[in-house]
Amino acid sequence: MPGIFLRGEEPIELMLRKFKKQIENAGVMADVRKGESYEKPSVRRKRKAAAARKRAAKRIRRMGA
């Protein structure tokens, strides 16, 4: 679970920014958004296939450059 440790006289804004960054890196918000509405299995498969195609194209671009 993400958490921050207070270090002396750090401003609240800085601590909040660090906490938000940790939440983002841990993928907590992505899980929350994913559970907001039902996604049909066929839609989930299509989304995952599109993401896989995008990753593969990105990998090919990196190899060619």
Here the tokens at position 25 are 């890196």
pLDDT in tens, 7-30: 888 888 998 999 999 998 888 888
pLDDT in tens, 25-62: 888 888 888 888 898 999 999 999 999 999 999 999 99
**pTM assigned to the model:** 0.51
* Alpha carbon distances (Å) from 48 to 13, 23, 57: 36, 23, 14
| pLDDT > 90? residue 3 | no
Give me the pLDDT at residue 65, please: 64
Q: Give the torsion through C-alpha atoms of 47, 49, 51, 57, to 10 deg.
A: -150
Here the tokens at position 60 are 């090919």
